[in-house]
Amino acid sequence: MLLDVREMSEWLSGHAPCALHLPLSRLRAGSPLPAAAHGKPILVICRSGHRSQQAAELLTARGVEARDITGGMIAWAREGLPVADESSGSIA
């Protein structure tokens, strides 16, 4: 399961089509994982990898199997992986 922990404006500018969204700020505040992620290993992504590392550590401390994606969405897009753009509804 892929979890994007960027803020809403970043999510709307482009994200992995298969990702769930929960900003790190909400995760830190105690928000639970989306229901679809319960009981599953989590790959965490942000813009560059810094916040996803923090989120993975936080989730691991909560007993969730979590790892961050090194390089974040910058590396994701650079590798040519699909990116959904909410503002236009397109996938590049």
42, 44, 46, 73: which one is catalytic?
Answer: 46
Spatial contact of 66 and 20, defined as CB atoms under 8 Å apart? no
Q: Which helix (H) or strand (E) holds 56?
A: helix 50-61
Tokens 């650079």 -> residue: 78
User: Six-digit token pair at 89?
Assistant: 């509804």
Indicate if 18 belongs to the active site. no
Active site residues: 46
